[in-house]
Amino acid sequence: MEEKEEFEKAVERKEKELIDYLTELVRIPTFVPPGQNYEKIVDWLIPVFENFGFECEKVEMPEDVYEARQKSAELSGKRMNLLATKDFGAEESVDIYTHLDVVPAGEGWSTLPFEPVVKEGRIYGRGVADSKGSVASLLTALSVMRELNLESKYNLRIALTTDEEIGPYSGLCFFADAGLLQGDYLLCMDGDNEGICVATDGVLNWEMKVYGKSCHSSVPFLGVNAIEQAMRVIEELDVLKRKVGNRQSKSPCSSYMTETTGQKHITSVFNVTMINGGVKENVIPPSCTLRGDRRYIPEEAVEEVIKEFEDFLQQVKTKHGIDLELICKPGYPPMFSNPSSEWVRRVQDAASDVFGHKDITGVQGGLDVAYAVLQTKQPVCAFGVGNWIESNAHGADENVRIRDLKDYVRFLVGLLT
């Protein structure tokens, strides 16, 4: 009982330290694109981890790998990542991962996005929830452990990587391919605290060019209007959208999702999200480009997803005599980790001790960790800081409750010691 009290006191005493860590992390603007300040944040973290007895390695994605798999015109700066390791002489080891990059600030903030502000029990700033809050909590957990002389029962490898928010080949993907993930287990701190996430949908982005024939708009019957053709395609795609949306995984979704939509499992998704076409008001448009994404449940294979889409479009082409071209760009694959594995159970127990019962869930968003575990075959689950709906991750006034950050410190110490 005394131990428990001491632990509680220590966590409370560290509140300022926790807020200071998070403030410093948010002040380094690692938004991507362009992702210019990755080396700065890694350089800031290294002495902090060294102070806790970790060995640190700066890992830059090699130029040839970057060129081939990740580089784009909107990115600039070194693709730097951090690997911090500490051998506790334990039998088992855990890799702990999250990302250091954030999405750009965007508009509509009531405070400065890169100058965190504490208000009514919450801290506001870009990345406080996704996902710098979990990094600050991890540092605080290490600080609590040192103060109370609590040894980790796992050897630790901390992978704090970059370019997750932009992909398709993030720092973590490179870590997986380079053999830098070696733990018996992997904890992904990128996520929310609603449930223990063991499944995600895979992501396939697509682009479609619909062709017409341009001519003077006063005699439209002499040409083919590509925008009207694209409209027919969009109408037909609604059939595919409904068919795909009814496809359920055996993995459950979060209870929040069930409450708001009635849906009990994660499903596949099909969206048209962008349209672009036309030259001038008086020109019948020669082409129209449609773009969107298809998210697929772990039970689907990306090859089948592409084939289903292509076959569907073939029918549309024949039915309406439409000329079109499809390009598919696969993103992060789906993730499915055994929900009854020993590791998932340990994470669930540690989380339930702090937060009350936590369900095993899946999400329809994609994670780069899915790519990593496809290579490493590590048992994995994702459990992060806060409620993402309230936190408005990726939106204006991103925030996280200080109580949630402290609870995450409690969770980490409970899991590791």
Q: Where along the sequence are the contacts to Zn ion (CB under 5 A)?
A: 130-131, 190
Residues linked to residue 294 through DSSP beta bridges, in sequence order: 204, 270
Interatomic CA distance for residues 291 and 328, integer angstroms:
10
209 CA to centre of own chain: 29
Interatomic CA distance for residues 298 and 399, integer angstroms:
31
* Least distance CB 391 / Zn ion (angstroms): 11
* Least distance CB 368 / Zn ion (angstroms): 9
* Least distance CB 366 / Zn ion (angstroms): 11
* Least distance CB 123 / Zn ion (angstroms): 17
Where in 213-372 does DSSP place strands (E)?
248-252, 265-267, 269-277, 287-296, 323-330, 335-336, 360-363
Interatomic CA distance for residues 167 and 3, integer angstroms:
44
Interatomic CA distance for residues 125 and 115, integer angstroms:
7
What 3-state DSSP class applies to 19?
Answer: helix
Residues linked to residue 97 through DSSP beta bridges, in sequence order: 159, 188
Best CA proximity match to 348, nearest among 205, 195, 229: 195
* Least distance CB 77 / Zn ion (angstroms): 19
**Residue 154 or 388 with smaller CB distance to Zn ion:** 388
* Least distance CB 190 / Zn ion (angstroms): 4
**Residue 127 or 285 with smaller CB distance to Zn ion:** 127
Q: Cite the DSSP H helix spans in 119-165.
A: 133-147
Residues linked to residue 384 through DSSP beta bridges, in sequence order: none
* Least distance CB 2 / Zn ion (angstroms): 38
Residue with tokens 């479609």: 208
**Residue 169 or 206 with smaller CB distance to Zn ion:** 169
411 CA to centre of own chain: 21
**Residue 190 or 194 with smaller CB distance to Zn ion:** 190
Task: Return the amino acid letter for 307.
Answer: K
**Residue 140 or 200 with smaller CB distance to Zn ion:** 200
Q: Cite the DSSP H helix spans in 194-292.
A: 226-245, 255-261
* Least distance CB 398 / Zn ion (angstroms): 11
Best CA proximity match to 30, nearest among 82, 67, 93: 82
**Residue 10 or 160 with smaller CB distance to Zn ion:** 160
**Residue 190 or 300 with smaller CB distance to Zn ion:** 190
Residues linked to residue 271 through DSSP beta bridges, in sequence order: 293
**Residue 190 or 407 with smaller CB distance to Zn ion:** 190
